[in-house]
């Protein structure tokens, strides 16, 4: 057995374990009635982890290139900072279609990210039946961070993955641990020890509100129909009046 090779492998595993135990993540989304929305995403990890990707500058370049591939994002603002040995990535983004954003996660774009990043993004599925949308996201942090399964829970103390979703209408079903604002705000908070041991999931079902433009179309249709009806009625009255009016000769 190649002792040097095994030693290097062991050091790599220990290094990945050390970095895994220090990840914090928070994602918050606001969804509008027309399907558009915005996102506020923050991840914090040891600065040493960024050295494998060119430091803070390399991480920022990697994310910028990734965002450029996502057509669903309308605008975005990215900051990558370092402080006290930690690197923080903060992304603000707006999008026109939440469904298109979800589909992006499964169209191969995530393959350009490091395994840890794609694992934390998870597998997203969105189904729409009539006016009901069913959303699910399965995150398997342990699968993308090899060796973390063997670490004691104390190694992840104080670290967590948090997700918050603000809906335009109340959710009819959800597995969120915290439900507020009459069912319109859903929050999941997973200790890193739980996220590492097995997949964690976010699920909810909610009604899709009729967009403003659709209401406008309905009102316009009703108004137009009514207007045409009035014209037709007046014309009909005019024909009847002309038919019943006495004829004058010479």
Cβ neighbours of 56 (radius 10 Å): 18
d(CA 69, CA 90): 18
Sheet strands (E) in the chain: 24-31, 37-46, 73-83, 86-95, 123-129, 132-139, 160-166, 171-174, 178-180, 185-191, 200-207
Residue appearing with tokens 């009604």: 207
pLDDT digits (tens, 9 = 90+) for 102-136: 666 555 555 555 555 666 777 888 887 878 889 99
The larger pLDDT score, comparing residue 192 to residue 219, is at 192
Mean pLDDT of the chain: 74
d(CA 103, CA 131): 19
pTM over 0.75: no
Indicate whether 227 pLDDT > 70.
no
Mean pLDDT on 74-96: 90
What pLDDT shows up at residue 27? 93
Mean pLDDT on 64-84: 85
pLDDT digits (tens, 9 = 90+) for 160-171: 999 999 999 999
Report yes or no: 211 and 145 within 8 Å, Cβ to Cβ. no
End-to-end CA distance of the chain: 124
Q: For the chain, how are helix, strand and coil distributed in percent, rounded to 5?
A: 45, 35, 25
Question: Which of 30, 21, 14 minimizes the C-alpha distance to 165?
Answer: 30
d(CA 38, CA 76): 9
Return the SS3 of 101.
helix
């Amino acid at each position: 057995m190649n002792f040097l090779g095994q030693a290097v492998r062991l050091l790599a595993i220990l290094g990945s374990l050390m970095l895994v135990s220090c990840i914090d993540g928070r994602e918050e989304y606001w969804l509008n009635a027309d399907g558009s929305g915005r996102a506020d995403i923050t991840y914090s990890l040891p600065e040493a982890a960024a050295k494998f990707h060119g430091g803070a500058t390399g991480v920022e370049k990697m994310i910028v290139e990734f965002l450029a591939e996502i057509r669903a994002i309308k605008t975005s603002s990215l900051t990558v900072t370092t402080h006290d040995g930690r690197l923080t990535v903060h992304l603000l983004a707006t999008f026109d279609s939440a469904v298109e954003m979800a589909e992006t996660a499964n169209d191969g774009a995530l393959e350009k990210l490091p395994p840890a990043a794609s694992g934390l993004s998870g597998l997203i599925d969105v189904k729409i039946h009539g006016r009901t949308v069913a959303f699910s996201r399965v995150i398997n942090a342990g699968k993308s961070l090899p060796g973390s399964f063997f670490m004691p829970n104390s190694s992840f103390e104080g670290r967590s993955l948090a997700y918050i979703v603000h809906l335009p209408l109340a959710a009819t079903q959800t597995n969120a641990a915290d439900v507020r604002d009459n069912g319109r705000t859903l929050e999941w908070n997973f200790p890193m020890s739980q996220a590492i041991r097995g997949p964690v999931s976010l699920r909810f079902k909610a009604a899709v509100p009729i967009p403003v433009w659709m209401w406008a179309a309905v009102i316009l249709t009703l108004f137009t129909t009514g207007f045409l009806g009035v014209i037709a009625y007046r014309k009909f009255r005019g024909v009847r009046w002309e038919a019943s009016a006495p004829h004058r000769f010479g």
